[in-house]
Amino acid sequence: MQKAPEFPGLSVSPQKSGELRAMSILLSDAGLHRHLLPLTYTRPLGALRCGVRTQAEAWQALAGLSVGFLTEAYLQVKFPAVKADLNYEVHGGLLPEKNVVGAVLDLKPGQVLMQKGKPLAFCLEGAAHAAAMDWQVPPAFLAQVEFSGEVLLIERPWHLFQHCGAALNNDFEHITAGRKSRPLSASNTVIGDPNLIFLEEGAKAEASIFNTANGPIYIGKGAEVMEGCMVRGPMALGENAQLKMGAKIYGASSLGPECRVGGEVNNSVMQGFSNKGHDGFLGNSVLGEWCNLGADTNTSNLKNTYGDVAAWSYPDEALTATGQQFLGLIMGDHAKSAINTMFNTGTVAGPCANVFGGGFPPKHIPAFAWGGAEGFGTYALDKAFSTCRKVMERRHIPFTTYDEEILRHVFNATKPYRA
């Protein structure tokens, strides 16, 4: 096959003899932006992490095409679309298993990939894009192609930890294919297949227990598992992340790059750069980036009645039944909790919330809220930005103008909740 020339920001694939056509994947919010708040206050649906990789990273790796985003206008500057002649506009929450990726790339212009009446992807030319309503009922002039394979979609925050195991298995298979793991120290104990443990360059693990009976364990570049940890797969520890001494991790869990994790974690996803460095329980939860849980912060993930958990719904602007028996904490970027904080089942905390004090805070903690069970004030924007800057500098990552403008938009958009 002729090697495609390189164009910045574009991928090209052969179309006809002698003709090359720029192609891209565009991950769309598919009308789900508000349903995935507070996580999508600061990123598109397609930039969320479910497995080892983010959705965008996984799609780019499996499809071999450049990936862009179709999202809210205030996010689009930091998360741009990709211009191409031919766009595969994909539901941003569609897990990129190889069969579904193949089905998307087989689409022809003017076709839409469907499953049981639900659009999964559109193949469109030039500047044409699907409208939000098209993700409910596709236009009649598009030819429908039915996909009969398994499909997993992220359409609510809890889908991230519910689909984490499948995403980890997909990512592990693709990332490790044809590669050899760095050696695992003999000081560790392995239960199950040792071939399901993969250490990237510079990864370290000593005197810990790894159980792969239920799935693989991936330890990213430069990551460290300190002494006495107990890990049950499937689990991913991102690049330069750390498991603190004696941590207990139950799969399926994905702990993103630069995270610091101690205590007990069960079936949870941390997007990256967040800390839960001390004892305390985090279960059936999702944390954004740059979060920090103080020592002995605990989340409840199951009601005493074993009933369904209600959580704050941004589309409904009320506590709403989720249909979930297990649901802990959903926390937006840059949110923090003080020592001994207790979060009730189904608590939703917005970006830059700062929670402290005794008792259980409300189950909806607005963005930029400052306080706890006894009431909230407003975290002043300049002070919040100062904290964001200091926190990110510790990981040698700048707090950019884009970051500032996104959080300023969130601050203004969430004023009614703080009132």
**How far apart are the C-alpha atoms of 402 and 382, rounded to whole Å?**
15
Strand partners, 14: 20
pLDDT reported for residue 126 = 83
Yes or no: say if 63 and 106 are a contact pair by the CB < 8 Å rule: no
Select from 164, 187, 182 the least CA-distant residue to 236.
164
Average pLDDT, 10 consecutive residues per value, the chain (419 residues): 30 37 92 98 98 98 96 97 94 97 97 97 92 94 96 98 98 97 98 98 98 98 98 98 98 98 98 98 98 98 97 96 98 98 98 96 98 96 98 97 98 96
Give the residue extent of every domain in the chain: 11-146, 157-257+265-272, 290-419
**Residue 22, pLDDT score:** 87
**Global confidence as pTM:** 0.93
To which residue do tokens 């000081």 refer? 187
Cα–Cα distance list, 366 to 297, 369, 380, 419 (Å): 19, 5, 13, 10
| Distant-in-sequence, close-in-space partners of 332: CB < 8 Å, separation ≥ 6 | 37, 38, 39, 41, 42, 288, 349, 350, 351, 352, 353, 367
CATH, domain 157-257+265-272, list 3.10.20, 1.10.260, 1.10.10, 2.160.10? 2.160.10
Secondary element (H or E) of residue 172: helix 164-176
Q: From CA 372, how far away is CA 388, in angstroms rounded?
A: 20
Tokens of 95: 């897990």
H-only helix segments in 96-137: 98-105
What is the model's pLDDT at position 21? 58
Rg (CA), the chain: 22
234 cis-preceded (ω within 30 degrees of 0): yes
Strand (E) or helix (H) holding 49: none
Pairing of strands 364-365, 347-349: parallel
